[in-house]
Amino acid sequence: MKPPIATEPSARETENPGVPGFRTWRGVYWFVFSAFVVVVVLLTLFSRMFA
Amino acid sequence: MNLLDWIVLLVTMVGIAAYGAWHTRHTNHLDTYLKGSKTTRWGTIGISVMATQASAITFLSIPGQGFESGLGFVQNYFGVPLALIIVCAVFLPIYRKLGVYTAYEFLGQRFDGKTRLLGAGLFLLQRGLAAGVTIYAPAIILSTVLGWRLDLTIIGTGLLVIIYTVTGGSEAVSLTQKWQMGIIFGGMIAAFVILLVRLPAGLGFSGAAHVAGAMGKLQAVDFSFSPDKRYTLWTGLFGGLFLSLSYFGTDQSQVQRYIGGAALREGRLGLMFNALLKIPMQFFILLLGALLFVFYQFAPAPVFYNRVEWQHYAAGPNGSTFQALDEKNSALHVVEQEKIRAWLAARDSGDVSKESVTRTAMLDAEAASQAVRTDAKAALLAADPKAKTKDSDYVFIGFILDQLPHGLIGLLIAVMIAAALGSKAGELNALGTTTTIDLWRHFRPLAAHDEARNVRAAKWFTAFWGVIAIAFALFAGFSENLIEAINIIGSIFYGVVLGIFLVAFFLKHIGGTAVFWAAVIAQTLIFALYLLRHRFPVLGISYLWYNLIGCAACVLFGLILQAILGNAKSPSKPHAT
């Protein structure tokens, strides 16, 4: 079997990303995911508004 | 194009290429040549990832797609942010930690040599097949519209990209892509502003959007579950997620853009930059197309937007048919304009019943105009069964040439060529790197320690793939719908490659032999689905689903084969070079 180290992420998701307003990478991912949801909602509203 | 346009075009294109080549001419370290400078920050990485994905087709065909089918194509990108989050959290840290040059090198370390070769081989096959398209696609459109010679356009753009990509490798690619994207953003924003300015007085953005919406062009999100619909929220989320995960996570042309850089943080932020901007950018380009549709409701609109082709056949023996279609189109165009204005007036008056009646009349007029366009395409095919009937790619370039002032025309042509060069450079860089690291060094392991020889080999292989791409663009016959052709080729291979990587990351008990044969069987299954789709209509699914099916089949067969092989045949030893 292959050494497990090969597939272990080296940087923990709880590390500080160095982005103002965020303390962990997980926080950055949640922000990006939320932005995506907002964009889809806005696109849906845009479609409805001009339908 | 006049002299000013030519100056803008040549200064921007040759200037950026020369700057990239000159600035990186002393790149002799393998690490810098293949991964780029160690000081690269997240902005450059983010722009580079974006430029590699956004080819000239993005800026030529997608406005045409918005013009013809509306905003629905934006759903194709819904999987991108989700995929990029997964790449950031799982793929990138492992690539960085292992210090690999290619994604397939990781497969060698996790599985074995044959799985690494399979991954690299599938990448080279699908990228090699698509190699000519990224040069051919803009060349055929620009040469048709501008009267340039197709072969010289292909050779000129091909040689330009080869020179700086071979000279400076990954560093030159990132450096030039940054400037090219600057030209692209500037040019597209200028075109958008001029389009808004050229809309009829009093209409404005809001009025134009209402006209486009009433004509069905602004339906961005479709919640339908119908499997035969090509672009829905679900195909975008699931098919698009797998396509994007495979593209960003396992396609070397993307992996190479973000594995370098000053630190892991820079690659991650570069990818998050794309996760935030990709959908708005594609929306903006599609919206440009939808507004072009409105613009041509009020401006003189040709019956067929590839005017050069239309005039070619109109001058032939069936000229009277073409002339009659032109006249019918002009007459219907006037009627449609009246109906649109009547609907806008009724809408503004607040009279609901009148608004409904005029809306129906407007849609009937649009249907009549579309019928003439369909007749025009039938007339082209009657004149020549090999005639090219897809004209939506010519809508935006026609607008540029007709409506933009000189200087800006040159800038917008530069946008198209910059996009072609940027994506082609990323591809060549990745093809050269994969050939060097995963094939050449694999079969000549002693050469791995000679850095100068490795750089020389990488340069030669990059040039080799550049020449292959030019030859392919010159001599291959491509389908009319180029953007779909690229996506279909990608979807056929991407799912299986992604399956191999998902097994590598998440199913640690599966070994090299099981995953290798699982991938071979899964790829055969996808080929069969694609080849038999016309024979068995039930197989006629959207190509985006191939990504999901290929990936799921690879993982499933891997699990089954590993269960069968069990401990009787333990996974082979890791292979690293």
| A4–B93 CB contact, under 8 Å | no
Q: What angle do CA B366, B370, B374 make, to 5 degrees?
A: 170
Per-residue confidence (pLDDT) for residue B314, from 0 to 100: 87
Q: Which residues of B touch A35 (CB under 8 A)?
A: 81, 276
* Residue entry with tokens 């399979």: B118
- In angstroms, rounded to a whole number, what is the distance separating the alpha carbons of residues B73 and B219? 10
- In angstroms, rounded to a whole number, what is the distance separating the alpha carbons of residues A3 and A7? 8
Q: What angle do CA B524, B529, B532 make, to 5 degrees?
A: 115
| B89–A9 CB contact, under 8 Å | yes
Q: What is the mean pLDDT of chain A?
A: 80
Per-residue confidence (pLDDT) for residue B275, from 0 to 100: 96
Instruction: Measure B56 CA to nearest chain A CA, in Å.
Output: 25
Report residue B137 as tokens.
Answer: 């696609």
**CA distance to A18, B61, B211, B307, per residue, from B416 (Å):** 36, 11, 29, 19
- In angstroms, rounded to a whole number, what is the distance separating the alpha carbons of residues B401 and A4? 58
The CA-to-CA distance between both ends of chain A, in Å, stands at 57
Determine the angle formed by the axes of helices B264-298 and B42-53, rounding to 10 degrees: 50
Under 8 Å between Cβ of B551 and B491: no
Q: Which residues of B touch A1 (CB under 8 A)?
A: 508-509, 511, 570-571
Under 8 Å between Cβ of B145 and B271: no
Q: What angle do CA B320, B143, B134 make, to 5 degrees?
A: 125
**Concatenated DSSP letters of A1-51:** ---GGGGS-SS-TTS----TT-SSHHHHHHHHHHHHHHHHHHHHHHHHHT-
Report residue B245 as tokens.
Answer: 């995960």
Report residue B176 as tokens.
Answer: 């030039």
Report residue B534 as tokens.
Answer: 């016309």
Report residue B84 as tokens.
Answer: 């990029």
> Whole-prediction pTM value?
0.88
Q: Give me the residue from A9, A17, A36 closest to B93, CB to CB.
A: A9
Question: Within chain B, which residues score under 70 in pLDDT?
Answer: 476-484, 538-540, 567-577
**Concatenated DSSP letters of B471-490:** HHHHH----S-HHHHHHHHH
**CA distance to A16, B300, B350, B359, per residue, from B356 (Å):** 57, 27, 11, 5
Instruction: Measure A22 CA to nearest chain B CA, in Å.
Output: 12
- In angstroms, rounded to a whole number, what is the distance separating the alpha carbons of residues B179 and B167? 17
Any CB–CB contact under 8 A between A37 and chain B?
A: no
Any CB–CB contact under 8 A between A20 and chain B?
A: no
Tell which phi-psi region holds residue B70, choosing left (phi > 0), alpha (psi between -120 and 50) or beta: left
- In angstroms, rounded to a whole number, what is the distance separating the alpha carbons of residues B111 and B372? 59
3 state SS for B425-451: HHHHHHHHHHHHHHHHHHHCHHHHHCH
Report residue B558 as tokens.
Answer: 């891997």
Per-residue confidence (pLDDT) for residue B574, from 0 to 100: 46
* Residue entry with tokens 């050469």: B447
Instruction: Measure A26 CA to nearest chain B CA, in Å.
Output: 9
Under 8 Å between Cβ of B174 and B45: yes
| B279–A36 CB contact, under 8 Å | yes
| B88–A25 CB contact, under 8 Å | yes
CA Rg value for chain B: 25
- In angstroms, rounded to a whole number, what is the distance separating the alpha carbons of residues B435 and B450? 16
Instruction: Measure B258 CA to nearest chain A CA, in Å.
Output: 16
Q: Give me the residue from B221, B279, B505 closest to A7, CB to CB.
A: B505
- In angstroms, rounded to a whole number, what is the distance separating the alpha carbons of residues B69 and B354? 27
Any CB–CB contact under 8 A between A9 and chain B?
A: yes
Report residue B548 as tokens.
Answer: 């999901």
DSSP B257: H
